[in-house]
Structures are given as C-alpha cells and as structure tokens.
Amino acid sequence: MAALLRSARLLKFSPSGLLQIKGTKRTGPPIGRLYSGALRGRDTGVCSRQISRASENVSSRLWPYTVGCVRNYAVATEQKDEGSAAVRTKQMQQFDWALAKLDSSVRRTGRITKTLLLRIFHDICRTGYPSGNQALLLLRSCGTLLPEMPLQERNELAHRIWEKLQELGAQYDVSHYNALLKVYLQNEFKFSPTDFLAKMEAANIPPNRVTYQRLIAAYCQNGNIEGASTILGFMKSKDLPITDAVFNSLVTGHARAGDIESAKNILPVMKGAGIEPGPDTYISLLNAYAEKGDLDSLKQTMEEAESADCSLMDRDIMQVIYTLAKAGHQQHIPGMVERLRHERGYVPDAMNLCLSLITQGLEDTAFHILKTFPTLQSESFSNESANLGNFFLRHCVNIDTSLEKLGNFCKELEESKLHASPLSFTLSCALEAKKTATSLELMKMLKEQDFPIRPHYFWPLLTQHVKDNNTAGVTEVLKGMKDIGLSPDVETLSTYIIPVFPNIEAARQAFQELGISLESEGFLSSEVRLMALKNLAELYAKLSDPSFPSLDLSAFRGSLITGFRRSDDVESMVKITELLYKDERFSKGDPGEAVAFFLYNLIDSMSEKEVQKQEEKMKKYFNQLHTQNITIPLKIYRGIRNLLESYHVPELIKDVIVLVDPANRGPIGSVPAPPPSHIELGNEGKLLALEKKLSELKAENKPLSSVLKQTIQALCAEENLQRALELKQQHEEEMTVGAYATLISLCCRHDNLEEALNLKTELSRKDSSIALDASKYIGLIKGLCNNGRVEEATNFLKEMKEKDVAINDMHTTLLFHMLNTLVAKGSASTIQQLLDTIFTLGLAKPTANLCSPLITVHLESDDLAGALEAMLECQKRYKQLPRIHDVIVGLVEKGDTALLQKAMDFVSQERGEMTMLYDLFFAFLQTGRYREARKIVDTPRAEGRPGRLHWYAEKCISGNQLEALEQMVDMTAKLFECDRDEMYSYALRLCKDTNNWQKAEALKMQEENIIRERTLRLLADILKSNGQEVPFEVPETWYQQAAIAKQVQQQLAKTEATKEQPTQAENGAAYRRLMALKGKAKEAYGMLKDAEKRGVAFSPAPYDHLIRALLAEGSMEDAMVVKDIAVARVPGFQLSDTANTLLIVTLSKKGQTEDALEKLRTMLQADQVPGQLAITRLVQALGSDGNLAGIKEVESHMKALGTSLNLSSMVFVNNKALAHIKNGDLESGVEELEAVFTSPDHKSPSVSFVFRRVLEDDNDKAFDKLSAMAERLANHFACYRPATDLFLQLLDMNKVEDAKFMLARCNAVADQKDMLMSYVARKAQSAGQVGKINALMTLIPDFAEKDALNTYLMKCHVLDKDLQAAKSLYEQMQKEGAVIDELSLKRLAGLYRSEGETAPFPEPPETFKFYADKLKDKAAKVNVSAEE
C-alpha cells in the first residue's frame, strides 16, 4: 500500500500517460497492458447487474436503488469489549431491532428518515458498547437512503457518526472504510483518495479490491483518468480482478474528462476483455450523454442496450431523468418519462426520485414525475378521498419551497382531482414543522377559500414558545391570529399565551398594543382563572360586580379548586360559593347542581394527606356553607361521603351531611376461585413371557384373546410371519380384530397377497361392519395393483369410503408411493383409474404430489408430448400441475418450441404470467441457457417470489448444481423484493457442501454489502475449514454447546466416585430417554429420580429442560428438587435465563413476590436478562400486594438494563396505580394515571387492566374515583380512551346498565369506532361472546359498518355451533340485500355440514386462509394512499 501511496502522491507533480483508447486522441499506455491477466469475465456472456452500482460509479447516478437494500450492509468486525454478557446480549437485541426498523422502512418506502436514523444512533451510543456491525449499519444509512437530506448534511452526519462511535471504542476494519467511501461517492463529497489511503495505512488497515474499485470511481467522478489509471496499474500488479464496475466507472471518468468518444469506446474494450457490457455500463454511458443534453445519443444508446438484450428498468431510466434535471436539460425529461413502464416497485422508486429532486431544488421536475402516479394507482384513489402527493407536499414544506410554488402545486392537484384537500394538508405539515411564517400565509390562503380557521391550529406554533418562555414568539403568533381575524379562545389563552407573560398586567398591555379586545369571553375566563389561583378576595370582588358578564363555572372550576386548596381564605371562598349557588350568571343549568358537583370535584381533587391536613379548614368551610342555606342533592352527598371514608376522615361526613335533607347507605360484596392437576403412566412385556402366559391361560381354559393379540403383535414386530400364522391357526376362535389387522399388514409386507386376502375374508365373516385402518387397506390395494387386480383394488377403496376410514397425511404419502410403484409397469391407465376413484370418493384431496405418477409414467418412457397432455389434463380435472418443472426442462432440452409455447400459454392462462415466467426461468437455468434466463428476470413484470426462489435453490443444493445456483444469485440482484442475504446463504451452503472455498470467496457479497451474522459465520466456516484466513471477525453465538459439553465431561472425569459409576453407554441411553419425554414433565421427573438413584449424571441441558418443563406446569417444588440434583451433579450449575424467567412467573403467581424479586436481583447480578413475561407477572403481583417500592425497584432495574423487553408502556403505571388503590391511597392512584393522559405527548394508552381489577375486587370507592377521572379526562381534555376502556370493561363484565349510564354521561364514547370495532374483533375470537357484541350493538347501534359486524356475528354463531342463529343472520342479510363475504359463507357451510345438513348455497372452494387474506387485502385497499 505504501507503494501505491507514493505513486498516488506523485500525481500532483508527474503526469503519467492517460489511457489510450482506439479512435481517440489520448495518449498513454495501451489498455491491454493494464487489463492483461487480471480480468474476471463470464464464460456465458451474461450481463452482470449489481444492486450497488449507482454508488460504485458516479455522482450523476447518485439517485439510489434503495428498495430492499437495508439488509445489504458489508461484513463488519465485532468489537471486543469488556462489557458483560448481558450487555452484549442487549446490544445484539438492539441491533436486531434497529435492523428490523430500517428494513421495514426501506421495504415499505424505499428510504429511511433522519429521525429514525438519529434515534438508532443515540440508542446505540447510550449502551456505550457500539459493535462493528452497528457502526456499519449507521454509516451505510448516510447515503442515498436519506433522499430528504441535502448532500452536505448527509456527509456531516456520516462524519459525526464515524467520530462518535470511534470515540466510544468501535473497532473499524476495511469494511467500514469501504462504507465511508461509498457514502462519499453517493453524496458527491470532494475528498483526496491519497489522503484516504494514508488514513487507512495509519490505522494499519490494508485496502481490498472493493476499496480500489471505489477509489477508481472517486477519481472518475471528478474526471481524473490519470489517478484512475494509477489505481488500475496497482490492481494489475496485485493480480486483483477487474470487474465490470471498474469499466463502468471509466465510462463516467472519460465523459467527465470531456472525452465522450473514449467513454463510448470502453464498451468494445469490455467485450474484448471477455466481459459483456451490462445494463450498468449502458446507464453510465446514458448518464454521460444526459449531462451533455445529447438527446439523439441517448435514444441511440437505449436502442443499442435493448438490441444487446440489456433491458433497462424504470429505476435505470429514473437515474437518467435525475441526471438530466441536475444538468439543467429539463426539456428532454418528458420524453424519458414516457419510457417509464410502471413496473412493480415503481411507486417507492418514483417517490425517492421526487424527494431527491426536491432536495436539489428541482420541484417542478419532481411534480411532473408525481403526476405519473395515478396511471399506476387508478384503483387506489377514489374521487372522494384522493390524497396523492402527501409526501411531496410535506418535503416541499420542510425545505422551505416558496409559497407561490406551493400554492400552484396544491391548486393543480385539487383541480386534477388527485388530492382532496392539498392546501389544508400542507398547512398541517407546516404546523408540524413549526414553520410560523409559512403556516400563517397558508392559513390566509385557506381563509380566502372559505376554509374555517380554528384557534387550536396555532397550538403547535405556541408549544415551543411556552416551553422557552419566549414572549416575542408568542406575540408574533398572536399578530398572525389577528391578521387572520381570529381571537384566541380560553384554552389557547390560559394554556399557551398568558403563562408566558410575567403577570396579567403585562398580558393586558401586550393585548392592547396588538389591538386585541380585552372584553372577549376567552380573555375574561383566563383572567378569572389567574385570579382564582392567586387571590380569592379579588376574585370575589370581580365576580360580584353586577356589571360582570355571564361566565359558566366550568370555565374556571379547576383554577378555583386549585386556588382554594392553596389558600386559607375560607370567608372569600364561602362568599364565592354562595354567589355561584345563587347567581344564574355562572351556570347554564341548575346553579345548585353545579355547586354540588363543584364540592364533589373539590374533595376528589385532594389527596388523603391533604384532606387530613386541611380537615379544620374544610370543616369551617362546610359549616359556613350550611349557615348560608346551601344544600346539595343526595346522590352527590353519597359520592362525597365515599371519598371522605376512603380518606379516613369520617368526622367531616357529619359536616357534609348537614348540607343534605335525607341520608342513605349502600351495599358491598366479593367472590373467589380454585385449580386442578393429573398424572399418566405406561409399560410393556417380552415375547417369551407372553407365549408362556398364553400356554398357561389355555391350560387353565381361561380367555386368552388379549394375550394372543399381544403375542401376535410381538411376533410381527420381529417379522416372524410363519410363527404368527401358526398361533392364528391354533387359536382361531380367540382372534381379535387387532390381531387380524397386524397379521394382514405383515402378509402384505412379505408380499403374501393370498394369505392377506384370506385373513381379510375371515375377519369380514366374523363381523362385516369392522373396518381396518387406512395403512392396512393401502397395503392390500398395493399388492392387488402389483398383481394386476385393479378392480379388486378399487373395491377396497370403495369399502374404505363406506366404512368412513380416516385418512391423514401419512396415509396420503402411502397412496403416493403405492401409485409410484405402478410407474415401472407403465400402467398409465391403472394409475388414472385409481386416482379417479380416490378423488371421486373423497378419500384424499388432489395434490401435485399425488398426481405426479401420471406424469412420471410418460417421462420415464421419454414421451414428453404425453407428459404434457397428462399434466394439462390434471390441471383441468384436479387443478394441479404436477412435475411441471421436469416437463418444461425436457421440452427446453429437446428444443420443441411448439409444445413449449403450448405449455407456457396454458400455465399463463391457468396460474398467471408470473408463475409462467418463473417456470421458464428455472428451466433455462437448469439447462444452462443463462442468457435466456437473464432475459426472463430482466422483464419489467418480474418480481421477487421468495417461495419459488427458495424451492429452486434447495433443488440446486440437493443436486450439487453450483453453477446454476450461482447464476440465479447473480441474475436476481435487481429483482424487486428479493432478499439478497438469503440468496447468498444458499450459494454458501452449497459451497460448504462441495468444499469449494474459492467460489465462496469470489461471491460478490461485499459489493452488495451483506451483513447477516448467520451468513458471515457460514462463510467463515468455509474459509477456516480450508485453512484460509478469514478477513473479518466472526460474530460469536451467545452459547457454545460443544464447549459446555466438554467442560461438563472434564468436570465429571475429575469427580471421585463414591460408588460404582454407571457406564458411558448407560449415561447416553438415560440421556436420550430423558430428552425424548418432551411434554411429559412428570414422567421425565420420575425417570430422573431413578437415574439419580443409579448414579447416572447428565450434562446441564437435560436438567435445565426438565426444570423449565416442571415450572411451566406449575410444579415448583419438583423443579427445585431437580435443581438441587443438578447443583450436586454439575459443579457451577446455573439456571438458564428461560428457567429463571419461569421461576419468577411461578413465584409471582403463587404470591411469593419477595422471593420473585430476590430471584430477579440474582439474575441481573449474574448478567442474565429476564423475559418479558417474568417482569409483567412480577409487577402485576407486586401491584396486587400494594408493594409500590417493589414496582419502582423493578422499573429502575429495567431502565438500567437499557432494553424495553417489549414491555407494555403502561405495565408500571397501571400497577403502581393499583398498588396505591390497594393501600387505600386512591388519590395517588388516580394522579398516577391522570398524569399519563394529561401529558402533552401521551399516545392514549389503555387502562383497561386497572378498571378490570377494580371491578373484579368490587371496590366501589376506587371505581367511583376512576370513573370520575375518566369523565374528567373526556370532558376537560377531550381524552376518551379511559372512558371507552371503562365502558367496554363494564360491558365485558355484563354490567350493561352501568355501561349504559356511563355512555349517557360521556356520549363521545360512541364515536370511538376503532376501539369499539377492536373489542368486537377480540370477542369474536372465542365462543359464548355473541351476547356482549349484541349488547354493544344495542347501546351504540351505528358504531360500525353492518357488513363488518355481520362477518363477526357469523363467526360467533359458528364458534357457538348455533346453526339456528347463523341461519337467521343469513336470512336477515339476504332480506337487507347485504353483501355476504365468502369467508362467512365458508364458515356457515362448515356449520351446516357439521350438523348434517346441506347448505342452501354453493360452498366457496378455497381455504379459510385464502378468504381471510382476501378480506384483509380489501380492507387495506380502502386505507391505501400515497402518504407514507
């Protein structure tokens, strides 16, 4: 590398010769000298396409191929750190999470967002142990996967990530430097290749082939052919292969250097070097012409590419469009857009192109591309709800596109009916981005269109100003509101405006300066709220002024309550209360009722400690209210009484009761529940003992049929047919059905057909109704067919149907093997006759496997025409295409184009064009016709079918067809939704099987940046087993079974024997028997105890498995016995994470929370990570015990662990609230929950768990508190989730009247349609729930579409096996003219069949899954949009 550095540095002073290309004026060493001996061509002349090509070459092709490439990151070095095993495990989990998030984003949209990337970056940094893979993941994401970020910002982010992770100890290798190079190329970053190599040398990291390729691309990006030639010379001296990527870069390099002829002449040079120019090469040349604006050469080159069988895909043409736009040749873009074919994957690619163009300030070109979307998605947009271009408008706002342009785009989208409300959507984006000036201008534009502007639209703009206490910012927004002619309402004033000012006078002054009225209801309410918080006497003076306008108590009730709680001015509060009670200005309804609710809310808002502390103040307050003749209704008194009882201040009750005329009390109640368990055993006998027993029974003249059957079965197990038949002759009268069946099976196995038929006849004479099992019948049928007695065989098939013999998958396989034995006899007609009988009788469903003997019989005789006809007949008769691959391969090899065309036309018609293309693709690969195969995969309609690709890859692996598999991996590089890592893993598996390390090393994995650890380990194994150096650090698995086994064996060898040791064979046999008893924990436990008595010891695994099985059954005591045995037998034995998790769950269920908590502490100290279930059950048990400190301890442990374990966001909050309730501190419990819903960033989490527990415990006091909280959140904060949760819990516990009352108090619950529908879907999963769904429909008749509800109701009736109800629903749907979906019909038909009735409609033929998926797709289409 030092030599290369020296030669590179000389470039500045000593110009070397340039590459000489025939037909040009350039001089320099002949290109042949540079390329000789180092070329890597392809014998077949197949066009090579690399998914990373854009970044390998030049900036003009920077627009990315991002779809599906998040998985494709390069090999990374795993950092060796001092972190514990648990930290590394967490790190791995976080990495998997990050990879999954990025993968999901790219699969869905073809890109990732800056927010997501930064979130992952911060999470990785927070652990303090960044691995090599994580560093590589982040670096790879800083290029074209971020089309919404300007190029300079991307580079800055990449450098920031590089420096930060290096600072945290991440170890970089050549893959990281290559990743950084790729990012530089994608982001057009100007850098010195010389300096880059110097940095690598300083870090002691040697460059590899990929490094040199990318350095060549960097030189060529700047038109520096001289620098590129130096690197090429160095690659030649190192004997590194020169791939097509290098040639593609040279095309760009010559073009950028101003020598377009040399660029063009690279193509013949490639051909001369044995490398066929591929689509990438043509794209490089097209981009060169696009930069020059040479339209004629563009068209000519495209025609040449097509004639050379290099099909250009949409994403290729999009690169040319991007280059034309950047170069300022917009006039040529419409012609290129017309060439787009709208292939699969067009939308994400086109969206990314639009985003890249907008980022570059080319919005008009992006808008032209956007308008091509509807032609593709015409079905996805209806005139009423079109929203095409949301992503476009959002990005325009984010990069501050001019308002004039934004207005024009919105106008055109609306006029074209491509978007229902583009301007209002653009406003929402501006508000979300906190762009005040843009938002205000957009509001003015909307107002001109008579769109109503509401005060809450301004809240997003005010939020940050309130946090920053920014008076100037708030004033600016207020000016904007005034300009629009809008006055702030009370919520806006009191929450977002007045709190910013130091006092009310400062706010008044600011309002006066802005010319905003101080007499508005909003300002008045805000002023009253402020006074209520600060000075009750001043408030009374203001309210009692006769000139004070009407103002409802609800506008300032909360502030008044808070003010009184803080103040000792009881007299003023009594005066205010009396004023509210008597003056109708402060209530829209009955003032007395309003004041009564006010008193309830006052007590409800105070904590137990607060009420106890202010008891004297409250007593004085109530007494003075009584002297003012203020009274409250009985129902409100009851609520206050319950609250005071819960606060343990009964003395106050007598002071409240005087405010009521009558008084009354109410009841309480509760219930419990129990559990069960069971055991099972088994044994067997020996042949000699059975024969002896048989003789004894015969001598004693006792019944011997049972022992006879056992003896015959034992003889049959030893294949002793002669002795079994002798016993049968001796004891014919005692023969049972089981004995006959066993003998018949043995006769068939020994090909003794006549004896088998005789036994069957004897059995039928004894009892004609008796049926054998399916395998015995199939044995008889096979024997008859092999002897040409087909009619008798079909008679047995009919008997199977008549006697309703059950057939499972194993029997279907037996039928296939039976039919396959007839292939050798060439009996096509016999096979057809048997198949027709089997399928007609319904003994088995037609499958490709069962039908395949029909085709095999023709293929074996080389009758391809007959095989094709038989296959087509199978499709017509049975809807199956057996052995289609073999038939098409045969036709391709034979070159029979007429029959091949016939086959393809038929497949395309019956199974679709994509199936036909794959069949043809695999046939071409199988026969070595790789050029034709590439044409198939490069067609615009081709898309990734993982199932089909997996099938052919497995076929290649089992058949050792490495070349065909390698070609498939290469050809599918650009196939939409093709998992590249999966493809390379297939190739590596075969390389490992064939021990071909050279092929494994030559795979283009690093060009495509593969990263999955499974694949890396596979490659490392291949290289290590062949004594080759592994050029990357191998990711370790979290456990090493071999090492553990060896350790245990060594330990056992050291242990002194205190008694006779069992043999190794005994140990192994016991181990196998123990591990075979999966699912039989008690039996395994018994066996282990026997083994322990005999001194048999095992490795740690069986002990741990058994402990887990026993804990899963709840047998904790037995599990602990096994643990003690294991500790005694295996030094250093420790329970696994899973076993400890189950132990915590079991302890929690048994109420032993302290033990469970201690076990959690022990786990964490041992660097083990508990499971999600353990934490959930422990926290729930602690909540039930009222152990608040315990819950907080678990919460702090989880935070320290640094991983969420996918815990519910509410698991700690809900259970802390329950703990408070259990301890009688209702106020704190409610505050715990309320704090979640009143925080600005809450996401409406569920509190159903709390409501359910409180209802189950019949805790009326807690229920009153919680229901009041739910109502308060609904009425004051428009937060309806708690109220809806409570309503549904009441409904679920059959408290319909209470649910009805709840609905009356909070009717907004009826509008929460998603939650209600989710409840219905949940209930429809289990039987006996139809009553609850009907109750919901009665209370809220119109909460969902009738069709959707009918589907769930039908499912409920079928689960309940209630045919009458299902019939009624079906008839009702028919009367109403409702559309009955196929899934409901399928369910109903099954119910008719199970009840022995015939359905009055044809049963839909496909599977349940098929119709369920169809319904999901239909629902998805309703919600589909171009918005991300």
Check residue 682 and give its pLDDT.
Answer: 30
CA–CA gap between residue 295 and residue 1259 (Å, rounded) = 81
419, β-bridge pairs: 387
The pLDDT value recorded for residue 1246 is 85
CA neighbor of 994 nearest in space, from 952, 1030, 965: 965
Q: 355 near 148, Cβ under 8 Å? A: yes
How far apart CA 945 and CA 955 sit, in angstroms, is 16
Residue 1383 to residue 1415: CA distance in whole angstroms: 8
Q: Specify the 3-state DSSP secondary structure of 547.
A: coil
- The residue that leads in pLDDT, 515 or 151, is 151
3-state secondary structure of 30: strand
Q: Please state the separation of Cα 859 from the chain's center in Å.
A: 44
pLDDT tens across 1107-1164, in order?
Answer: 888 888 778 888 888 888 888 877 778 888 788 888 888 888 888 888 888 888 888 8
Q: Give the highest mean pLDDT range of 120-129, 755-764, 949-958.
A: 949-958
Instruction: Specify the pLDDT at position 353.
Output: 93
- Six token digits for residue 308: 């050379």
Q: What is the pLDDT, as a whole number, of residue 588?
A: 65
DSSP letter for 1040, please.
-
Cα distance between residue 1275 and residue 1272, in whole Å = 5
DSSP state of 1031: S
Q: How many CA atoms lie within 13 A of 547 on its CB side?
A: 1
Q: What whole-number distance in Å separates Cα of residue 1213 and Cα of residue 1229?
A: 9
- 1135 three-class SS: coil
**Mean local confidence (pLDDT), 1079-1086:** 73
Contact between 734 and 766 (Cβ < 8 Å): no
State the greatest distance between any 2 C-alpha atoms of the chain, in Å, as a whole number: 122
Mean pLDDT of 1266-1289: 84
Instruction: For residues 943 and 18, give the distance between their C-alpha atoms in angstroms, rounded to a whole number.
Output: 43
For 155, other C-beta atoms within 10 Å of its C-beta total: 21
Q: Are 924 and 930 in contact (CB under 8 A)?
A: yes
Residue of 773, 772, 760, 769 lying closest to 808 (CA atoms): 773
What's the pLDDT score for residue 1420?
Answer: 57
Provide the angle, in degrees to the nearest 10, between the axes of the packed helices 591-605 and 1260-1277.
110
First to last CA, the chain: 47
Burial class of residue 698 in the structure, from the number of CB atoms within 10 Å of its CB (0-12 exposed, 13-18 middle, 19+ buried): middle
Q: What is the CA radius of gyration of the chain?
A: 40
Q: Nearest-CA neighbor of 1215 among 1200, 1199, 1201, 1236?
A: 1236
pLDDT higher at 1050 or 282: 282
Identify the H or E element spanning 670: none
Q: For residue 639, give the nearest of 1265, 1250, 1286 by alpha carbon.
A: 1265
- Tokens 């192994």, located at residue: 1068
Q: Where are the beta strands (DSSP E) in 924-967?
A: none
- The two tokens of residue 432 are 């979300």
- The DSSP bridge partners found for residue 39 are 242
Question: pLDDT at residue 1053 above 50?
Answer: no
Chain-wide mean pLDDT for the chain? 78
Instruction: Centre a 10 Å sphere on the Cβ of residue 327 and count the other Cβ atoms it contains.
Output: 15
1071 or 829, higher pLDDT = 829
Given a contact cutoff of 8 angstroms between Cβ atoms, the answer to whether 1106 and 1085 are in contact is yes
Q: What share of the chain has pLDDT > 70, as a percent?
A: 84
Q: Tokens 């191998």, residue? A: 1034
Dig out the tokens for 213 from the structure. 């390729």
Give tens-digit pLDDT for 795-807: 888 888 888 887 7
Contact status, residue 1230 vs residue 1271, Cβ threshold 8 Å: no
CA dihedral of 855, 861, 864, 865, whole degrees rounded to 10: -90
Cα–Cα distance, 315 to 286 (Å, whole number) = 13
pLDDT in tens, 375-398: 444 333 344 345 788 899 999 999
Strand, helix or coil for residue 242 = strand
CB-based contacts of 1277: which residues, under 8 Å, 6+ apart? 1237, 1238
Quickly tell me which residue has 């061509």 as its tokens: 41
User: How far from 720 is each of 345, 711, 723, 725, 750, CA to CA, in Å?
Assistant: 66, 11, 6, 9, 10
Distance CA(917)–CA(949), nearest Å, equals 12
538-544-546-550 Cα dihedral, nearest 10 degrees = 100
Residues 1221 and 1232: their CA atoms lie apart, in Å, by: 11
CA distances from 172 to 56, 80, 207, 1156 (A): 21, 12, 13, 43
Q: How far apart are CA 1191 and CA 1179, in angstroms?
A: 6
3-state secondary structure 511-527: HHHHCCCCCCHHHHHHH
Q: Mean pLDDT highest for which of 556-570, 698-712, 972-986, 1013-1027? A: 556-570
pLDDT surpasses 80 at 968 = yes
Query: Which of 357, 369, 424, 368 shows the shortest CA–CA distance to 396?
Result: 357
If you write DSSP's letter for every residue of 811-857 in order, what string do you get?
HHHHHHHHHHHTTTTT-HHHHHHHHHHHHHHTSS---HHHHHHHHHH
Yes or no: say if 31 and 20 are a contact pair by the CB < 8 Å rule.
yes
- pLDDT: which is higher, 194 or 1313: 194
More confident residue, 352 or 669: 352
Residue 152 confidence (pLDDT) above 90: yes
Q: Is the pLDDT of residue 1275 over 80?
A: no
DSSP bridge pairs for 20: 30
What is the share, in percent, of the chain residues with pLDDT greater than 90?
Answer: 12
3-state secondary structure 452-486: CCCHHHHHHHHHHHHHHCCHHHHHHHHHHHHHHCC
Chain centroid, CA 950 distance in Å: 21
| 1411 or 382: which leads in pLDDT | 1411
- Bigger pLDDT: 1344 or 275? 275
pLDDT at 830 over 90: no
* Amino acid symbol at 1245: P
Distance CA 599, CA 747 (A): 93
Please give the single-letter amino acid code of residue 982: E
For 1327, how many CA atoms within 13 A lie in the half-sphere containing its CB?
5
Q: Which amino acid is at 1374?
A: Q
Q: Which residues contact 1317 (CB under 8 A, 6 or more apart)?
A: 1343, 1344, 1348
Region 1354-1363: mean pLDDT is 88
Whether 615 contacts 653, CB under 8 Å: no
**Which residue in the block uniquely carries the two structure tokens 């430097």?**
177
Select from 212, 204, 211 the least CA-distant residue to 236: 212
Structure confidence at residue 213 (pLDDT): 92
Instruction: Report, as an integer, the average pLDDT of 701-727.
Output: 77
pLDDT score of 1312 = 83
Contact 1220, 1226 (CB under 8 A): yes
Region 1275-1303: mean pLDDT is 85
- Taking only the tens place, the pLDDT of each residue in 584-612 is 787 766 767 788 888 888 988 888 888 88
Quote the tokens at residue 88.
Answer: 């590394």
Nearest 10 degrees: Cα torsion 115, 117, 118, 119: 80
Lowest mean pLDDT among 639-648, 724-733, 1312-1321: 724-733
**Predicted pLDDT at 1046:** 42
Tens of pLDDT, residue by residue over 619-657, are 999 898 888 888 888 878 888 888 888 887 777 888 888
Question: What distance lies between CA 48 and its chain's CA centroid?
Answer: 33
Quick one: CA torsion of 1425, 1426, 1427, 1428, rounded to 10 degrees?
Answer: 110
Predicted confidence (pLDDT) at residue 355 exceeds the cutoff of 90: yes
The Cα angle at residue 973 between residues 970 and 978, in degrees rounded to 5: 120
The reported pLDDT for the residue numbered 984 is 86
pLDDT-derived band at 818, boundaries 50, 70, 90: confident
Q: What is the DSSP string of 1313-1349?
A: HHHHHHHHHHHTTSTT-HHHHHHHHHHSTTSS-HHHH
pLDDT of residue 1425 exceeding 70? no
